[in-house]
């Protein structure tokens, strides 16, 4: 089945970073991976915010999707948010977030197991 990465770049609302991180890590990742087509999730914090060309968003979530119809999976996710079925914390800033969908073009490459 085709694999995709759904990448969300975001920031917390000023002064609410702890609340944002708690909600995102302990609730939101599981909520999204419960949506059909989404199979895993992981969060990252920008390590080189001062680097030239660094994004303005300090946090990134990468959701792995396995689906023949990524648009339908994203529509299901959007519908759960818009209908209120999925809780969205007010600590999550909607103002400067960015979302991108990438299609896998190679299998995962891993380092060889060490003895």
Which candidate, 43, 49, 54, places its Cα nearest to that of 21?
43
Q: In this structure, is residue 112 part of a structural domain?
A: no
Query: For position 11, what pLDDT does the model report?
Result: 98
- Residue pair 4/67 in contact by the 8 Å Cβ criterion: yes
Alpha carbon distance 15, 27 (integer Å) = 20
pLDDT at 42: 98
Which residues contact residue 58 at a Cβ distance below 8 angstroms, ignoring those fewer than 6 apart?
Answer: 11, 45, 46, 49
Asked if 36 and 25 count as a contact pair (C-beta separation under 8 A), the reply is: no
Residue 114: inside a domain, yes or no?
no
Q: What is the CATH number of the domain that holds 41?
A: 3.30.70.100
Average pLDDT per block of 10 residues along the chain, 115 residues long? 97 98 98 98 96 95 98 98 97 96 96 72
Domain count, the chain: 1
- pLDDT score of 112: 83
The model's pTM is: 0.93
């Amino acid at each position: 089945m085709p694999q995709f990465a759904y990448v969300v770049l975001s920031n917390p609302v000023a002064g609410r970073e702890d609340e944002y991180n708690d909600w995102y890590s302990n609730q939101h990742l599981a909520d999204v991976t419960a949506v059909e087509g989404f199979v895993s999730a992981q969060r990252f914090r920008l390590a080189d915010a001062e680097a030239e060309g660094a994004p303005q968003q300090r946090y990134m979530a990468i959701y792995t999707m396995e689906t023949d119809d990524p648009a339908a999976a994203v529509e299901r996710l959007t519908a759960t948010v818009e209908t209120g079925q999925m809780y969205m914390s007010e600590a999550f800033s909607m103002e400067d977030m960015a979302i991108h969908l990438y299609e896998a073009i190679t299998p995962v490459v891993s380092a060889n197991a060490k003895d």
